[in-house]
Structure 1
Amino acid sequence: MHDREGCPQRQRQLLDALELMLPDQCVPILVTDAGFRRPWFQAVEAKDWYYVGRVRNRDLYLDEHGHWQPIKQLYQRITSTVRSLGEIEMTRCAPHSVALYGIHQPPKGRKYRRVTGSIARSKLSRQNARREQEPWLLASNSSEGQNRIHY
């Protein structure tokens, strides 16, 4: 583990190590959580691999009027069935195009309980609860139907 989360140099080293382990003709699809950002996606694309990664919070996208908006603006367009939101430009400082998909699962009613049995109300617990209630926005460099698994 590196002392700095999201370190692009360490992420590239991870991809290089993974490449050495994979067979020559293997083209993986890497699935990542929201901690991975543009440098990771670009490093995966540079190897001609595919990614699916969750985007949230402070990520920006270019709307149809040419304005940069927080990705949270798209939450209202997401339903309980998987929906393609099309190709969008992300990241204002170095825009790159991704295929974006969204889904919102209904709350499961889970509550984190402390040892005493009471519901935890710490800041971290509340942040985690909010995160789990957000819709999922998944970015990919693979457009719809482009990749199919063949046996």
Structure 2
Amino acid sequence: MFHQAAPCKSEESPEKKTGIEFCDLLIALTNSMRSPLCLPEHFIAVDWSGYPSQEYHILRASLICDGRSIPLLSRLVSSAKQNNLLIQKAFLDELHRRVNPKAKVILITDAGFQSAWFRHIKSLGWDFIGRIRGTVQFCLLHDDERWLKITDVRGKASPEYPGAGWLVRAEYARCSGHFYLHKRETRGRKNQRS
């Protein structure tokens, strides 16, 4: 059952209008989703996508429900500003304003996002599932003196849960979470990062 949503503030520039037309839909979806097809939590995938002209990238949030991805909010930015922390935080803040404050939200993000992104998600009262890679360090609570690099541990074909811990060694950037090790076989994609 949908109900009338509060009006959203509209901006005049086309760049700022991206996603505004979905505002009432987003509020209605997150306020009234009670379908048995969807979990009580709202799983929202957020990712950067290339735009065909390569001059722009799109930051998009999509609601995951019943095996489908429903676009909720998109932001078109110049390629030079892709992965810009200020743009990403503003995007999260806008999404947060539009989602039912009583909803339990779990954001699913890719490895391009860093610990500041994860900390901001937590500051909004949401949870996240994020992939990390590279030289990022973490430690587990049961062995909090031993910091490991992601490259120091090997995942297996089936996920393994080593425990809760901290992501990023620097205290100002640290983020708590639960770690799972998992390594898929390579899929032979072009331009694949290791």
TM-score with structure 2 length normalisation?
A: 0.51
Q: 1:52 to 1:65 in 2, by over 3 A?
A: closer
Q: 1:93 to 1:111 in 2, by over 3 A?
A: closer
Q: 1:111 to 1:97 in 2, by over 3 A?
A: closer
CA RMSD of aligned residues (A): 2.2
In structure 1, the gaps of 5 or more residues are 113-124, 132-151
Aligned length: 113
Structure 2 residue corresponding to 1:92, chosen from 169, 176, 180? 169
User: Which structure carries more relative contact order (alpha carbon 8 Å, separation 6+)?
Assistant: 1
| Structure 1 residue aligned with 2:91 | 14
Amino acid paired to 1:40 = W
2:131 is the alignment partner of 1:40: no
CA distance in 1, matches of 2:87, 2:113: 12
Q: Could you tell me how far 1:105 is from its partner in structure 2?
A: 2.1
| Structure 1 residue aligned with 2:132 | 55
- Identity percentage over the alignment? 21
Please state whether the residue corresponding to 1:13 is helix, strand or coil: helix
CA distance in 2, matches of 1:58, 1:5: 21
Please tell me whether the aligned partners of residues 162 and 181 of structure 2 are also in contact (alpha carbons under 8 angstroms).
Answer: yes
Please state whether the residue corresponding to 2:93 is helix, strand or coil: helix
Please state whether the residue corresponding to 2:184 is helix, strand or coil: coil
Q: Could you tell me how far 1:65 is from its partner in structure 2?
A: 7.2
- Larger fraction in strand: 2
CA distance in 2, matches of 1:47, 1:90: 18
CA distance in 2, matches of 1:81, 1:36: 24
Q: Could you tell me how far 1:11 is from its partner in structure 2?
A: 1.6
Amino acid paired to 2:161 = S
Please state whether the residue corresponding to 2:94 is helix, strand or coil: helix
In structure 2, the gaps of 5 or more residues are 1-76
TM-score with structure 1 length normalisation?
A: 0.64
CA distance in 1, matches of 2:115, 2:186: 29
| Structure 1 residue aligned with 2:182 | 103
| Structure 2 residue aligned with 1:69 | 148
CA distance in 1, matches of 2:165, 2:111: 17
| Structure 2 residue aligned with 1:135 | none
Deviation sequence 1:42-70 (CA, Å, 0-9, x none): 11101110101000002112363724332
Q: 1:91 to 1:79 in 2, by over 3 A?
A: same
| Structure 2 residue aligned with 1:136 | none
CA distance in 2, matches of 1:39, 1:5: 15
CA distance in 1, matches of 2:189, 2:89: 37
Please state whether the residue corresponding to 1:55 is helix, strand or coil: coil
| Structure 2 residue aligned with 1:138 | none
Deviation sequence 1:62-95 (CA, Å, 0-9, x none): 36372433211112xx221111121122212123
